[in-house]
Structure 1
Amino acid sequence: MKRSKWKGPLIKSKYLEKKLPVLARTYEIVPQIIGLTCNVHSGKKFVKLSLTEEMIGHKVGEFVPTRERFEFKKKKKKK
């Protein structure tokens, strides 16, 4: 669900003051935080994320996958 336009983006400046801040997945990326490297929780571990200009307007959680990529196991060839 989207946040109301009149409320503005969800940003808390106290998290941005730390050396390597931890951002919630619901934060919207705004131009003031471009170039910041932060930790984002994927549900299992923290993932380091660098924010770039192309990410403006998106949520932080869109760039951190919550599930591992599935690959079929390869079969061994018989000799």
Structure 2
Amino acid sequence: MKRSKWKGPLIKSRDLEKKLPILPRNYQVISNVVGLSCNVHSGKKFITLSLTEDMIGHKLGEFVPTRERFEFKKKKKKNNF
């Protein structure tokens, strides 16, 4: 569910005081946090993100994949002599 515009972005200033803060996936990137590194939980493990200017206005969950890539395994050819 989307956060109401009148409430503004989800910002917790006390979380940014830590060395590598753990931020929620619904945290919206603002200009004050550009250049910081933070940990975001993907559902299985924590992924370290460096926040850049291109991320402003987006939520952190958009940059953390929650599913692994699926690749078909190649079959080995049988040598029948």
What is the aligned partner in structure 2 of residue 41 from structure 1? 41
Query: Shift of the alpha carbon at 1:74?
Result: 1.1
Amino acid at match of 2:71: E
Query: Shift of the alpha carbon at 1:27?
Result: 0.4
Q: Does 1:16 align with 2:27?
A: no
Instruction: Count how many residue pairs are aligned between Structure 1 and Structure 2.
Output: 79
Q: Which structure is larger by alpha-carbon Rg, 1 or 2?
A: 2
Q: Does 1:71 align with 2:56?
A: no
Percent sequence identity is 77
C-alpha separation between the residues in 1 aligned to 2:74 and 2:49?
Answer: 32
Amino acid at match of 2:3: R
What is the aligned partner in structure 2 of residue 7 from structure 1? 7
What is the aligned partner in structure 1 of residue 57 from structure 2? 57
Query: Shift of the alpha carbon at 1:4?
Result: 1.1
Query: Shift of the alpha carbon at 1:32?
Result: 0.4
* Moved beyond 2 Å, runs of 4+: none
Query: Shift of the alpha carbon at 1:57?
Result: 0.5
| TM-score, normalised relative to structure 1 | 0.95
C-alpha separation between the residues in 2 aligned to 1:7 and 1:42?
Answer: 26
Q: Secondary structure at the match of 1:23?
A: coil
Q: Secondary structure at the match of 2:6?
A: helix
Q: Secondary structure at the match of 2:47?
A: strand
Amino acid at match of 1:26: N
Over aligned residues, Cα RMSD in angstroms?
0.8
